[in-house]
Amino acid sequence: MKRVLLVDDDPDVLESLELVLSFSWEVRTALDGRRALAVLDTEPVDVAVVDLIMPVMDGEALVAAMRARGLAVPVIIASATPELAERARGLHVFAWLAKPFTVQALERCLMAALG
Amino acid sequence: MEPSNDQYRLLVETAPTLVWRSGLDAKCDYFNGTWLEFTGRTMEQELGEGWLEGVHPDDRQRCLDVYLGSFAARRPFEMEYRLRRHDGMHRWISDRGVPFHAQDEFGGFIGSCVDVHERREADQARTTFLSMLTHELRTPLQTLILCDQHLEALARSARPVPLDVAQRLGRQVERLRALLDRAARGIDISRGVAPELQLADVDLVELVARVVESRRQRPRAGVALELRYEGPTGTPGAVCVDGSQLVQVLDALLDNAFGFSPEGGTVVVGLAFEPATVRITVEDEGMGVPPMELSRVGTPFFRASNVSPRRHAGLGLGFAVAREIVHAHGGTLELGPRSPRRGTSAVIALPRSGWFGGAAS
């Protein structure tokens, strides 16, 4: 089973994502960028789904920190703020997924990220 | 009778608009008294291209391009840019320049400017508000969509619905309801409609304790914080207030205090009974509000300039709504720096009895 890291500061969104993905994925979750880095320090993941607006360490800072550590994990940005899409493009992430999205859209994106 | 040249000059010098003129070389050779008063600089400093020093560095090139482009084409222009006022603040102004002619010969440009700072800020605040509102709507909608799809999958395989999924759905409905209520209150405030109060004798010690306890049950995701109460515990402190609206006030202040607190920070809720006043304080160790902006906190949809929209979602309404409710009680709600330590202190002062600013009548 492939391992996915979900990063979102909204516990309800995070738990719902975990719920729908847990049948076919090994799921790890983090409520902000710093906690996500702690997960990445302990075990490898195949793909990460990252929210942008988060306290402590936002999505942009997390992606930058992952790059700085040489982690080549494909990142899918899942955000409810389309105004930030342009900015996110500069991060060179694998994909942008606009919230709200369906389970099918997320799964398609995850599969594509795995190549 | 036509006005004389002196009368025209007087009109230009004392007009509420900022007036400038340039000659054939495109360099400015005149500024009226209103311009010089606004910038706090002398005519000598402004002449030629001196005025550009007052234009905000981010706007300078664009400003110059528009001006010189229009000058070369001898076509009127209209543009907005930030100009430094005498107090150092950059204000948005709208500048309209037109070519003028003397004895049918092109003589240069003459322009007039008005301060449109408030309008620009209101436009910005509205854009930010709409952006935040849609963000706040999409987040619970995301959970609703995922849970809905999950429920459908469960139903298809005739499996029972777990209680926590049903509860999560209920929470999203409540979030959406609260969001709409708050937005509606913001619109009321903008229209000058005061909140209606349902007054009753309320035990404030119990009310504050209840709000604090409920907050302890739902800590902010991802951030460890301490929440402390400082005040009387056993003694009943009955005051005539609208209890449920006062809970909203405290919740809004705690939302801010928690939202902007650093990891490991402490939020202190204080309650003190004075002879004529009850004082409730909420103090945090967050970044605080820039002193220049303190007077504007409480304006609906205003968000302080040091609030990163990438770390803090919000409508800019919580404090505005809270202040309106406290005012309707005949009280005050002030925000200030927390001294001597870093952070913000919000102080509610409510009259212990008597006058309610007409809200009770």
User: B129 with B313: CB under 8 angstroms?
Assistant: no
Could you read off the pLDDT tens digit of each residue along chain B, which spans 361 residues?
677 888 888 888 888 999 999 999 999 999 999 999 999 999 999 999 999 999 999 999 999 999 999 999 999 999 999 999 999 999 999 999 999 998 889 999 999 999 999 999 888 877 877 888 888 899 999 999 999 999 998 889 888 888 888 888 988 998 898 888 878 887 887 788 888 888 988 999 999 999 998 888 766 655 667 889 999 887 767 888 999 899 989 988 998 888 777 778 889 999 999 888 999 999 988 776 766 666 666 666 666 666 665 556 666 777 888 888 999 899 999 988 876 677 888 999 999 875 443 333 3
Write out the two tokens for B116: 């449109």
Look at residue B38 in the predicted model and tell me its pLDDT.
Answer: 96
User: A17 with A6: CB under 8 angstroms?
Assistant: yes
Distance from CA of A49 to the nearest CA of B (A): 14
Write out the two tokens for B247: 């809970």
Q: Is A53 close to B223, i.e. CB distance below 8 A?
A: no
Q: Is B146 close to A19, i.e. CB distance below 8 A?
A: yes
Q: Is A60 close to B310, i.e. CB distance below 8 A?
A: yes
User: A97 with A47: CB under 8 angstroms?
Assistant: no
Q: Which residue has the tokens 């229009």?
A: B70
Neighbours of B105 (CB within 10 A): 7
The beta-strand segments (E) located in A1-115 are: 3-7, 26-30, 47-50, 75-79, 95-98
CA distances from A80 to A77, A98, B137 (A): 10, 6, 9
Residues in contact with B300: Cβ distance below 8 Å, sequence separation at least 6, in sequence order: B186, B189, B190, B316, B317, B320
pLDDT tens-digit map of B283-342: 988 776 766 666 666 666 666 666 665 556 666 777 888 888 999 899 999 988 876 677
What's the first-to-final CA gap in chain A, in angstroms? 15
pLDDT tens-digit map of B80-89: 999 999 999 9
Whole-structure pTM value? 0.68
Residue of B nearest to A98 (CA): B138
Choose the closest CB to B142 out of A9, A11, A99. Answer: A99
User: B54 with B34: CB under 8 angstroms?
Assistant: no
Look at residue B305 in the predicted model and tell me its pLDDT.
Answer: 63
- CB contacts, 8 Å: A32 with chain B: 221-223
Closest CA to B75 of B105, B97, B95, B48: B97
Interface test with A, best of B124, B126, B127, B142 (most A CBs within 10 A): B142
> Any idea which of A22-31, A63-72, B146-155, B174-183 has the lowest mean pLDDT?
B174-183
What is the three-class DSSP state of B17?
coil
